[in-house]
Amino acid sequence: MVHEWALAEAIVEYIAKESVEKGTSAIKKLVIKLGLLQGVERDILDFALRELLKSKGLSIDSIEYVDEAVVLKCRRCSYEWRLPLQEIDSAVREAMHFIPEVVYSYFSCPNCGSRDYSIVRGRGVSIERIEWEK
Amino acid sequence: MSSKGGVGKTVVSVLLALALREKGYRTGLLDLDFTNPSTHIVLGINPSMYQPLEDKGIIPPEVHGIRYMSISVYSGDKPTPLRGEAVDEVFREVLAITRWGELEYLVIDTPPGLGDEHLNLLTYMGDRVEALLVSTSSILALESVKKLIYLLFEGGYSVIGLVENMCREKKLEGICRNTGVEYLGCIPYDTGIEEGIGSVDRLKSTKAWKHVLSIADRIAGV
């Protein structure tokens, strides 16, 4: 039972509110964007989402997950780069799993050394789209 | 809270959390200084050795009986420069994933200034937060605390009181009388504090500790 449950709870809470606004409890398709910086375990998130949706009385046909690579851009020299997640120490990846912004603790711009960069893409989990049954 | 730096917020926060725990209250300590956390230095722990447990979020580790959370458990005490947007993200993340359980007091150490961390705290938790103001007797700190009191009262936030820290002579009772903020007590200037940083036992043997215990009683309404 891990952090994915907390993320799933936040997603389901949002969906439950929207369900009231839409006047339906049946979801055709849910598309979730998985920013790879957070290193979310897809299977656990999927299990948690389905269990929590069920507990809220919401039905769902399918959940699609879209991976998003981590792209960082330096504010000082404008260099843009991808974070090579597979080469990163597991303890650091674990830390970024909980608080993605600790990326600033461990990495600087490979071009100029600055830590003043932005996470352009791939930070965390977000809802890309909800398709409701009509 | 204090918008002025160097008034001893971190030491007061840690000592107060320890004092409330010593009085038997279930107490948590949250370090809200994301770019320069230092409560772990006062407590004398290596944050990397205190990884929270995972259970539908994270369970803060216990340090000297206090449930403790700081970004340093993940940042490994490395420099962590953050712009405002990133501070907002960390704030949301830490608040969303940390499962404090049943607490009677959660002491939150804030960074100096009146920036993103403070605004997040007041905006998102303002109805559950009681501000404890910390100031030295210095005229510079005094002017800062006046502005802070004005800001908090204007927003209708609750202020639990003011602690005059590192004081040689009480100078802030007047401002408390004038504003209606409770004067919780003065913590005398004590060289033992600097020597005690990093050792809870040493901190508890200082003169200041006894004053913090009294302040804890006043906060708890004893």
Mean pLDDT by 10 residues, chain B (222 residues): 90 98 98 96 94 88 96 91 95 91 97 92 92 93 91 94 92 93 94 94 95 96 80
pLDDT(A1) > 70: no
Q: Which domain holds residue B180?
A: 9-220
What pLDDT is stored for residue A130 in this prediction?
A: 96
Compare all CA atoms of chain A with the CA of B88 and give the residue at the minimum distance: A101
What pLDDT is stored for residue B77 in this prediction?
A: 77
Residue B2 lies in a domain: no
Question: What's the total number of domains in chain B?
Answer: 1
Compare all CA atoms of chain A with the CA of B35 and give the residue at the minimum distance: A105
Residue B3 lies in a domain: no
The minimum CA-CA distance between B66 and chain A, rounded to whole Å, is 21
Question: Does B35 contact A at CB distance below 8 Å?
Answer: no
Spell out which chain A residues touch chain B, with contact meaning CB-CB distance below 8 angstroms. Answer: 1-3, 5-6, 9-10, 95-96, 98-102, 104-106, 115-116, 123
CA atoms of B135 and B148, how far apart (whole Å): 11
Residue B4 lies in a domain: no
Residue B1 lies in a domain: no
| A16 within 8 A of A31, measured Cβ to Cβ | no
How close are the terminal C-alpha atoms of chain B, in Å? 23
CA atoms of B3 and B10, how far apart (whole Å): 13
| B65 within 8 A of B25, measured Cβ to Cβ | no
Closest to A99 (Cβ–Cβ): which among B56, B57, B94? B94
Which positions 133-192 of B are in contact with A (Cβ < 8 Å)? none
Closest to A3 (Cβ–Cβ): which among B71, B79, B97? B97
Is A102–B79 a contact, with Cβ atoms under 8 angstroms apart?
no
Residue B56 lies in a domain: yes
- The CATH number of the domain where B71 resides is what? 3.40.50.300
Q: Could you tell me which residues come within 8 angstroms of residue B120 by beta carbon, excluding any fewer than 6 positions away?
A: B87, B88, B91, B92
Neighbours of B89 (CB within 10 A): 18
Position B175, amino acid? I
At residue A102, the 3 state secondary structure works out as helix
Estimate to the nearest angstrom the gap between the alpha carbon of B70 and the chain centroid: 12
Residue B94 lies in a domain: yes
Q: Identify the band that residue A2 occupies on the pLDDT scale cut at 50, 70 and 90.
A: low
- Residue A45 CA: distances (Å) to CA of B25, B172, B217: 36, 53, 45
The minimum CA-CA distance between B164 and chain A, rounded to whole Å, is 34
What pLDDT is stored for residue B181 in this prediction?
A: 96
What pLDDT is stored for residue B196 in this prediction?
A: 95
Compare all CA atoms of chain A with the CA of B77 and give the residue at the minimum distance: A105
Residue B48 lies in a domain: yes
- Residue A110 CA: distances (Å) to CA of A35, A75, A85, B150: 21, 13, 15, 46
